[in-house]
Amino acid sequence: MPFDIALDRVRIGIVGLGYVGLPLAVELSKRYPTLGFDINAARIAELREGRDSSLEVEPEELRSAPLRYSSDEQDLKECNVLIVTVPTPINDHKEPDFRPLESASRTLGRVIQPGSLVIYESTVYPGATEEVCVPIIEEVSGLRFNQDFFAGYSPERINPGDKEHRLPTIKKVTSGSTPEVADFVDVLYRSIIRAGTHKASSIRVAEAAKVIENTQRDVNIALINELALIFNRLGIDTEEVLDAAGSKWNFLPFRPGLVGGHCIGVDPYYLTHKAQAIGYHPEIILAGRRLNDSMGAYVASRVIKLMMQRDMLHAGSRVLVLGLTFKENCPDLRNTRVVDIVHELTDYGIGADVHDPWVNPDEAEAEYGIRPIAEPALGTYDAVILAVAHHQFRDLGPEHIRAFGKPGAVLYDVKLVLPAEAVDGRL
């Protein structure tokens, strides 16, 4: 059958209501009948109460959105446009973990109706939508691709915790499995994205565009991290160097730091996996990944050396780590590299307390075996590491942060938040 969905007949189902799916569902519900689906019944319950634990949607906006919720997949049968926004993590071997995407595709195979459109937003390597996801839908549903159902790809560009760059203000890449589908997907997203859209020529092009966005950032940050390692050995302040170089109009304003989260620290492995599958060994991308993944251990070693120099390293030494999330001002713990600092310290027999006002302690303990403390005691620690630039820590200022330490304690600034003269070391 030909593709035949008109905007006035659209009934949307969003599969996955996390950082990506919920803001999308809220925006779409303002224009189209929209059902938000998630297998996590607790997530559905909190959303029905007008609460979003991810803090991506304000309570007022959530309560006013004409959005329905369900954890019963049978409710998706009423939808003719199904949008998948589930995570695409990596496994312990740093290989793509398609289990959430495969599970979502099997769900769609059980509920999809003839003539429907499936749009994927999850980050993947070029070809994955048509090579991994579509065959699952075909097998489970018995429907034929591009005859009985159709597919599109429009990669997410959500930046967790960013209150300035929101879904409607970020340009959206769109694509479809046929020219007609591509046109429809583009019009659908353009109806809610004020910043406009960019229609790619194919699903594979759209997939590739997304995965290189974060790969490019990863490689650039790796370069700055390597420069920081060099400048630290030379006794030069990295931020001073970057500020001086940044006086040139075309210098890119990257800063050193820990690279975690569900995007920059993960997506490059999807591209390198595909590259190796076709016989190409990517060198720069993997080198950048190795360097960025080593920064937590480097920070810990620098702090330990400073503690030794100040005679603060002894049996029973304790370090306070401020921040656990992968970035500032959001509760997202996914792939946070702050845990590398904590683990390296404990491997040396140093006690480490973590404090983060944004984190759910139960979630942190379940995910990493680290239970953040509610309030650090003053005058307790031999070193303090400012690992995440939450506004609460910025507001404290260097004197209050130093007060958590004993006299002579080390203060190390990972995020270049505090003035250079106020700390004992920083990247």
| Three state DSSP letters for 297-335 | HHHHHHHHHHHHHCCCCCCCCEEEEECCCCCCCCCCCCC
Which residue, 298, 214, 204, 227, is CA-closest to 260? 214
Q: Quick check: is 330 catalytic?
A: no
* The one catalytic residue among 79, 133, 263, 330: 263
CA–CA distance, 129 with 121 (Å, rounded to integer): 10
Which residue do the tokens 């459109």 mark?
117
Residue 289 sits at φ, ψ, to 5 deg, of: -60, -45
Which residue, 335, 331, 396, 385, is CA-closest to 358? 331
CA–CA distance, 67 with 32 (Å, rounded to integer): 9
In Å, how far are 232, 233, 262, 341 from 238, measured between CA atoms?
7, 11, 27, 20
Sheet bearing 34-37, strands edge to edge = 67-70, 34-37, 12-15, 81-84, 117-120, 150-153
Give the helix ranges, DSSP H, for 348-413.
361-368, 391-402
DSSP state of 176: B
Q: Which residues are catalytic?
A: 263
